[in-house]
């Protein structure tokens, strides 16, 4: 729980001591061999950076920063949670709150494809870049790659992601690519294509990005057809996706793909941070137990 005094101190630091952010990066205790465990469990908190604030029926759920940070700290308090994926502002706030020592920290890189914008698919890199991830001693960078054949905005996003993969690999850092095939419906709304061909095609495109795939990991949906996961040898993390409103059903959906040999863990955001009953610790604990039950 972020107390009133702790929150007031964070706000004072933000206003009066901006250099504290740099000190917090430098003083963070970095986990040795961050990706050597049997599984990896990360909480995701980069949705607000592209204006995606809604959860369930609340369009402003993630807009309250104090509540979001409090929920993140609750999740990170579970020893089964390895770390966090976030945009620079959220990572820095967690650093100032001493929440990221000995944790895996992945910086979110492209957040320019604002939710609902006309240019949403042209997802410019407006967050971390490879050099800042190196300079701040983060463990890798994540990029979203939405593939829409009818939208030319896909092309610059593809090129930018390929460049980021190469640059991160040059420093020996993880490049986490989230390839998602989309199409526009009759109302011009983006809809995720969940058929096997579209998903497998997205996997193969993402796997080939950059000058080397040596440090590339994929962040993929919990697919029904496990043949999609056979399309790559790269390590895979399952994304939580849009919460269904039924946490037990979400957990059940993650179970079969978690048993695929290429899958190494979970990256889950809203589903665990905003469960219907508000009990973040229990939601995180159930996901952690699911990971424990996966055969090594």
What is the tens place of the pLDDT at every residue in 119-146?
999 999 999 999 999 999 999 999 999 9
Q: Please indicate, yes or no, if residue 31 is contained in any of the structural domains.
A: no
pLDDT of residue 156: 97
Q: Please indicate, yes or no, if residue 75 is contained in any of the structural domains.
A: yes
Q: Are 275 and 246 in contact (CB under 8 A)?
A: no
Q: Collapsing DSSP states into helix, strand and coil, what is residue 140?
A: strand
Average pLDDT over every residue of 189-202: 96
pLDDT of residue 112: 97
Average pLDDT over every residue of 162-175: 98
Where in the sequence is the domain holding 153, given as residue range(s)?
40-292
pLDDT at 74 over 70: yes
Q: Are 173 and 30 in contact (CB under 8 A)?
A: no
pLDDT at 263 over 70: yes
CA distance 181 to 199: 6
- The pLDDT > 70 percentage for the chain reads 99
Q: Please indicate, yes or no, if residue 9 is contained in any of the structural domains.
A: no
pLDDT at 242 over 80: no
- The pLDDT > 90 percentage for the chain reads 89
pLDDT at 186 over 90: no
Name the band, by pLDDT with cuts 50, 70 and 90, for residue 38: confident
Write a three-state SS string for 225-245. CHHHHHHCCCCEEEECCCCCC
Q: Please indicate, yes or no, if residue 1 is contained in any of the structural domains.
A: no
pLDDT of residue 197: 98
What is the tens place of the pLDDT at every residue in 83-115?
999 999 999 999 999 999 999 999 999 999 999
With the CA atoms of 84, 88, 91 and 97 taken in that order, what torsion angle do they form, in degrees rounded to the nearest 10?
-170
Kindly give, in sequence order, each residue whose CB lies less than 8 Å from that of residue 175, ignoring residues fewer than 6 positions away. 140, 141, 143, 164, 165, 168, 169, 210, 215, 216, 217
Average pLDDT over every residue of 261-270: 96
pLDDT at 248 over 90: no
The residue ranking higher by pLDDT, 7 or 34, is 7
Q: Please indicate, yes or no, if residue 5 is contained in any of the structural domains.
A: no
CA distance 253 to 184: 25
pLDDT at 64 over 70: yes
Q: Please indicate, yes or no, if residue 71 is contained in any of the structural domains.
A: yes
Name the band, by pLDDT with cuts 50, 70 and 90, for residue 187: confident
Q: Are 169 and 210 in contact (CB under 8 A)?
A: yes
Question: Which residues sit opposite 146 in a β-bridge?
Answer: 180
Q: What is the CATH number of the domain that holds 109?
A: 3.20.20.70
Number of independent structural domains in the chain:
1
Name the band, by pLDDT with cuts 50, 70 and 90, for residue 296: low
Average pLDDT over every residue of 160-165: 98
Among 258, 266, 216, 235, smallest CA distance to 41 is for 266
Q: Please indicate, yes or no, if residue 3 is contained in any of the structural domains.
A: no
Among 35, 26, 215, smallest CA distance to 136 is for 26
CA distance 70 to 67: 5
Q: Please indicate, yes or no, if residue 23 is contained in any of the structural domains.
A: no
């Amino acid at each position: 729980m972020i107390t009133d005094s702790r929150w007031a101190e964070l706000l004072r630091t933000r206003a009066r001591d901006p250099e504290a952010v740099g000190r917090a990066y430098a003083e963070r205790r970095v986990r040795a061999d961050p990706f050597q465990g049997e599984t990896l469990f990360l909480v995701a908190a980069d949705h607000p950076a592209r204006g995606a604030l809604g959860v369930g029926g609340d369009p402003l759920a993630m807009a309250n920063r104090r509540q979001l940070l409090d929920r993140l700290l609750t999740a990170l308090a579970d020893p089964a949670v390895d770390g966090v994926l976030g945009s620079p502002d959220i990572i820095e706030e967690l650093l100032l709150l001493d929440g990221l020592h000995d944790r895996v920290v992945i910086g979110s890189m492209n957040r320019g494809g604002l939710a609902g914008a006309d240019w949403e698919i042209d997802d410019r890199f407006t967050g971390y870049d490879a050099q800042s991830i190196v300079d701040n001693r983060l463990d890798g960078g994540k990029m979203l790659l939405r593939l829409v054949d009818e939208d030319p905005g896909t092309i610059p996003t593809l090129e930018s992601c390929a460049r980021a993969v190469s640059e991160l690999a040059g420093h020996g850092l993880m490049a986490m690519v989230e390839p998602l095939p989309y199409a526009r419906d009759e109302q011009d709304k983006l809809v995720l294509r969940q058929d096997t061909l579209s998903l497998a095609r997205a996997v193969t495109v993402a796997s080939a990005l950059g000058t080397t795939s040596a440090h590339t990991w994929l962040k993929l949906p919990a697919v029904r057809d496990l043949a999609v996961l056979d399309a790559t040898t790269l390590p895979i993390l399952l994304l939580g996706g849009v919460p269904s409103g039924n946490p037990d059903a979400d957990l059940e959906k993650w179970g079969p793909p978690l048993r695929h040999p290429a899958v190494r863990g979970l990256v889950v955001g809203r589903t665990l941070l905003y469960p219907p009953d508000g009990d973040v610790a229990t939601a995180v604990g159930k996901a952690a137990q699911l990971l424990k039950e996966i055969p090594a």
